[in-house]
């Protein structure tokens, strides 16, 4: 019986010791919480610029149209520096077909883009959303020995309290690197 009491006392002391250790660990963690990591929030401009088209080019016509829409929304809705504007323009030129790009100088493209953005902003317009067509709605065809695709994207545009939807049709062409590039686009007439 004496051995049982001694064993019982040792177990109780061990349980109390473990409880005390757990309690002190809890208190010490509460007093000194783990350091919080600093969170960096990226702007829409930063997100658009961080895509590396050399290593992460959009794989499908739908993804190219979606990236075009993302860039357009950033151009129209956001504030950015002149350097960021030129970097965004480079991203846009990176998804356009070489033949389309060859029609104007880079400076002319940048000037046209600045004028388009300025007119959009001065009119009080904002792109609230965009919706590229589903992958199953992309039409594929061959034109003059080029693989081509046709896809759509709807932009919802807000001006004051009013919203309007504009639908664009895009023609894309596969280049020698098998990248889909935008060959042209236009507003779909209602």
Q: Domain boundaries in the chain?
A: 44-187
Distance CA 149, CA 140 (A): 4
Return the pLDDT at 87.
Answer: 92
31 CB-contact burial (10 Å; exposed 0-12 / middle 13-18 / buried 19+): exposed
Return the pLDDT at 37.
Answer: 72
Return the pLDDT at 38.
Answer: 75
- In tens, the pLDDT along 5-60 reads 666 766 666 666 666 666 666 676 665 556 667 777 888 888 888 889 999 999 99
Return the pLDDT at 113.
Answer: 84
User: Taking Cα atoms as reference points, which of 41, 67, 65, 42 lies closest to residue 53?
Assistant: 67
Residues of the chain with pLDDT under 50: none
Other beta carbons within 10 angstroms of residue 76's beta carbon come to 16
44-187: CATH number: 3.10.450.100
């Amino acid at each position: 019986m004496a051995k049982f009491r001694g064993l019982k006392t040792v177990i109780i002391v061990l349980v109390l010791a473990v409880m005390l250790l757990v309690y002190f660990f809890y208190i010490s963690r509460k007093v000194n919480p783990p350091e919080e990591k600093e969170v960096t929030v990226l702007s829409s401009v930063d997100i658009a610029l961080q895509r590396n088209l050399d290593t992460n080019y959009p794989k499908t016509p739908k993804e190219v149209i979606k990236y075009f829409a993302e860039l357009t929304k950033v151009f129209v809705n956001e504030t950015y520096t002149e350097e960021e504007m030129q970097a965004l323009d480079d991203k846009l030129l990176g998804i356009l077909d070489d033949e389309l790009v060859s029609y104007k100088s880079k400076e002319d493209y940048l000037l046209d883009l600045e004028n388009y953005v300025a007119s959009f902003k001065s009119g009080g317009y904002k792109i609230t959303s965009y919706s590229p067509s589903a992958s199953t709605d992309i039409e594929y065809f061959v034109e003059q020995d080029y693989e081509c695709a046709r896809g759509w994207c709807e932009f919802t545009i807000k001006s004051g309290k009013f919203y309007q939807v504009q639908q664009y049709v895009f023609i894309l062409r596969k280049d020698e690197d098998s990248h889909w590039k935008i060959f042209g686009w236009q507003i779909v007439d209602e």
